[in-house]
């Protein structure tokens, strides 16, 4: 299928601008004409570009996973590309919460759950209101056999955002695995109140198997079981 000329032209113009920009930067830098302000601006733009590139690799895996599942080897390749991109950031950018989160997500997609915990934990400490960090961290704790920490992490997130149904739903899953019927039903009920569509997930959710036949659980989910 031919590539539209307009697309080719726009990509060519973008590439040429990038090349010219780098040429001017290094020419001025070589002759001592570039100021600290310009260098800082160049560094900031480069960091933003690398972050967007890493996010793009991960988005290809996660955002479209439900409709177009990515092959395992493709997902691993994209996650590794994201890690390689993040490694190109300067040391002073490496401890930013967004960078730590993306690194943790990349490791999670590679199923390196134990390795993902440290950057995600640090990202949560630096950005305690970002529920996506807590969700990823809980996911990893669950898969390294620390269900207690998965629960603790998501309950901590409720202090910052208690209106997200997925937090309550995941807590219901974790408490079900811990065979605490009362808390599992309580959190699941809250998830339904926030977003009734979560009822559709219950029949196929394996995490509810430990309590699926319990009267309290059945009373709450009778319309979907």
Instruction: Tell me the per-residue pLDDT of 23-82, one tens digit each, with 9 for 90 and over.
Output: 444 454 554 555 556 556 656 778 888 888 888 888 887 765 555 566 778 889 999 999
Q: What percent of the chain has pLDDT over 70?
A: 75
Burial call 116-144: b when 16+ CB within 10 Å, e when fewer: bbebbbbbbebbeebbbbbbbbbbbbbee
With beta carbons less than 8 A apart as the criterion, state whether 206 and 225 touch.
no
Tell me how far apart the alpha carbons of residues 152 and 92 are, in angstroms, rounded to a whole number. Answer: 30
With beta carbons less than 8 A apart as the criterion, state whether 165 and 201 touch.
no
Is residue 212 in a domain? yes
With beta carbons less than 8 A apart as the criterion, state whether 209 and 217 touch.
no
**Domain of residue 92, CATH code:** 1.25.40.10
Q: Are residues 171 and 141 in the same domain?
A: no
User: Does the global pTM surpass 0.95?
Assistant: no
Band of pLDDT at residue 13, cut at 50, 70 and 90: very low
Q: Are residues 139 and 181 in the same domain?
A: no
Q: Are residues 131 and 96 in the same domain?
A: yes
Number of folded domains that form the chain: 2
* Helix (H), strand (E) counts: the chain: 10, 0
pLDDT (average), residues 168-187 = 98
Tell me how far apart the alpha carbons of residues 76 and 29 are, in angstroms, rounded to a whole number. Answer: 38
């Amino acid at each position: 299928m031919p590539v539209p000329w307009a697309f080719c032209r726009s990509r060519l113009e973008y590439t040429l601008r990038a090349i010219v920009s780098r040429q001017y930067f290094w020419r001025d830098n070589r002759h001592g004409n570039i100021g600290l302000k310009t260098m800082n601006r160049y560094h900031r733009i480069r960091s933003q570009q690398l972050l967007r590139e890493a996010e793009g690799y991960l988005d290809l895996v996660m955002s479209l996973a439900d409709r177009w599942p990515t092959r395992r080897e493709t997902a691993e390749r994209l996650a590794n590309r994201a890690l390689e991109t993040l490694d190109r950031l300067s040391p002073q950018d490496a401890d930013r919460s967004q960078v730590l989160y993306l690194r943790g997500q990349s490791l999670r997609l590679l199923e390196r759950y134990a390795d993902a915990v440290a950057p995600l934990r640090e990202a949560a400490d630096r950005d305690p209101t970002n529920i996506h960090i807590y969700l990823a961290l809980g996911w990893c704790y669950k898969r390294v056999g620390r269900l207690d920490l998965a629960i603790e992490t998501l309950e901590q997130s409720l202090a910052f955002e208690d209106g997200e149904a997925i937090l309550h739903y995941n807590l219901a899953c974790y408490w079900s695995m811990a065979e605490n019927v009362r808390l599992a039903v309580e959190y699941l009920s809250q998830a339904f109140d926030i977003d009734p569509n979560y009822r559709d997930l219950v029949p196929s959710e394996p995490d509810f198997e430990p309590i699926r036949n319990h009267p309290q659980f059945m009373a709450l989910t009778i319309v979907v079981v």
